[in-house]
Chains A and B, each alone.
Chain A
């Protein structure tokens, strides 16, 4: 899948302002946005998902133009089919695990039933070993369980790409290693294009792919290719 990102956005808060300039093109199945905190990585990902409107520029994913300031194109997040996973997972606190995962299946005005039956939901519950937790509320889950639920919720909607904002940041080191491996295997099996944000070099080494380095809102000198992954 081809990613073509070229955006600019200035954010103002009181007297301070932050200007983001993110530019990269890639055909890789795995892209890592790497850089220190405050570099603008989350903002870039949010822009791709449609949760942030750049001041100017262009966002193209898989040949589809999601955003083009010059031509007045700005697809709403609903239409982009980007699987965005928040840093703290943003699981709906009033719905149990089953309902959270099933959330995107029906687009109507009513939430899924507590005991909703669905092949897709059951598949992902099994895939992530969450069956015994299906009726728990997010508040009752551990960090790793929440991360898996958030991933399942995103994958059920069959997104065109996965956008993961620091997926391992909220976990302790041991869990991080385990889940990093799981994500690696998952991505290989599903062959779903994934952009991952991290400030941890270990994530970069494990995950590999096309590395985009951001520093203080702008791309650092040259994108480094650490590891090519078979598409």
Chain B
């Protein structure tokens, strides 16, 4: 398969998985910080938002140190499961998920905070368990804000470069995503390939933006 399509397929695969991961963690964290009060809550919020402002290479370095063979987490993964995440597409997913996480977490928290607690209380009084309250009342009232975050997260994950390069390397077919492929093509003077890759990437970005516009709140109200 032509390198362009391989890189595209890989980018989409990594971005989808990363967005799913960021979505689950972001919604959970957003809900906890919106509803529970505990000492150090705002400090935790700041820490969770860090990947948004940290340079991706710094993040990539931390991940490399943590997940590498001699790393705190990496060594244990190697011993217990025989897994090494460096140079794998799963490692790329983790890197992309971390940079995308704040883009889901912040809007999710804000969305949950705007959901009136009385609706949740009304559901509790009617006998619904906490999980049922979340899925039947809280989430339906907050999902638009969360969706906006998820789309941003997907776009970010798709374009992730710095952290991914450090953690997953640039292995064609396995971890060489579109952004990295462009970089390498330029470095190697392969301008034709670079042009093709850039065109594809731009087309995908436009498609994501159009989807975001189509899913915009105004449209959704017409049930």
Contact = CB atoms under 8 A, between A and B. Distances in A.
Interface in B118-171: 118-119, 121-129, 131-132, 135-137, 140-141
B129 A78 contact: yes
A110 B126 contact: no
A94 B132 contact: no
Contacts of A84: 121-122, 125
Contacts of B137: 92
Interface stretch (A27-35, A100-108, A171-179): A100-108
Interface in A173-218: none
Contacts of A76: 124
A49 B125 contact: yes
Interface residues of A, number: 27
Nearest to A114: B223
Nearest to A76: B124
Contact of A104 (B121, B128, B129): B128
B132 A109 contact: yes
* Chain A interface, >50% SS class: loop
* Chain B interface, >50% SS class: helix
A76 B137 CA distance: 18
A20 interface: no
A51 B122 CA distance: 9
A129 B155 CA distance: 50
B125 A93 contact: no
A51 B124 CA distance: 9
A94 B118 contact: no
B132 A90 contact: no
A86 B129 contact: no
Contacts of A110: 135-136
A57 interface: no
Interface string A69-105: 0000000111011111010101011100000000110
Given A90-B118, A103-B123, A104-B127, 13 more contacts: A49-B125, A77-B125, A78-B127, A78-B128, A84-B125, A86-B122, A90-B121, A90-B122, A93-B119, A107-B132, A111-B140, A154-B126, A157-B126
> What are the nearest 3 A-B pairs in CB distance?
A104-B126, A90-B122, A77-B124
22 contacts: A50-B125, A51-B121, A51-B125, A77-B121, A77-B124, A77-B125, A78-B124, A78-B128, A81-B127, A82-B125, A84-B122, A84-B125, A86-B118, A86-B121, A92-B123, A94-B141, A104-B128, A107-B129, A107-B132, A109-B135, A111-B140, A157-B127
